[in-house]
Amino acid sequence: MTHVKQKPFSIQLTTVPVIDKLIQVVEIKNDAMPDLNKANVVSVDLASDYWQPVTAGESKRVVFDRIDTCKARDFNNPDVLIDLVCVFFFERVNGKIKSISNGSKRLVSSIQNLMSSPHSPFEIVHGSLLEITFKGKVKNKTNSFSSDRWGIRPIILNIKSNDNVQRRHQGN
């Protein structure tokens, strides 16, 4: 019986910032791979659901992620896929974080305008906290179609600084 000397294996672990958190990436060398059954799964679902509200007044409290394209069926020819510019957000549902998107031209355009307004006190950047409200559809003046109307409002978290918390504990 002959013994074959095996090459030592190595795993290179790299962390890559994504959505202001960390996603770990491994480079597999010499068939070595970490035991993923012992790893923790982050509670963020990165697969985006398309949000298509129906009822005026429907709203979501979200964290803005990005504007990007996604594949969608063409309105006039469902057999054709087009690149649709969408806005992507993260929301918490039943304790889990998930990605949602919407391709309404008015919503995307409004967000884009707020992203490129550095002199506005409400410039939207990655991570901005927003309440997005569907206000219903309005008939266009220039054609027979209707367009979505949206409300975009900033959310302010009531966070107390650590200094105030420490002072309160010291006074007790």
Question: What is the number of residues in the chain?
Answer: 172
Q: Which pLDDT score, from 0 to 100, does residue 112 have?
A: 94
Comparison of pLDDT for 96 and 12, the residue scoring more: 96
Q: Which pLDDT score, from 0 to 100, does residue 170 have?
A: 52
Residue 97: which domain range?
A: 44-154
Q: What is the rounded average pLDDT of the residues 24-48? A: 82
Instruction: Please check whether residue 56 lies inside any domain of the structure.
Output: yes
Instruction: Please check whether residue 15 lies inside any domain of the structure.
Output: no
Instruction: Please check whether residue 24 lies inside any domain of the structure.
Output: no
Res. 62: pLDDT tops 90: yes
Instruction: Please check whether residue 37 lies inside any domain of the structure.
Output: no
Q: Which pLDDT score, from 0 to 100, does residue 133 have?
A: 98
Instruction: Please check whether residue 162 lies inside any domain of the structure.
Output: no
Reported as a pLDDT band with limits 50, 70 and 90, residue 45 is: confident
Please check whether residue 61 is in contact with residue 131, taking contact to mean a CB–CB distance below 8 angstroms: yes
Instruction: Please check whether residue 80 lies inside any domain of the structure.
Output: yes
Instruction: Please check whether residue 168 lies inside any domain of the structure.
Output: no
* Count of structural domains within the chain: 1
Per-residue burial over 65-83, b if 16 or more Cβ lie within 10 Å, else e, is: bebeeeebeeeeeeeeeee
Reported as a pLDDT band with limits 50, 70 and 90, residue 161 is: low
Instruction: Please check whether residue 166 lies inside any domain of the structure.
Output: no
In DSSP terms, 24 is beta-bridged to 15
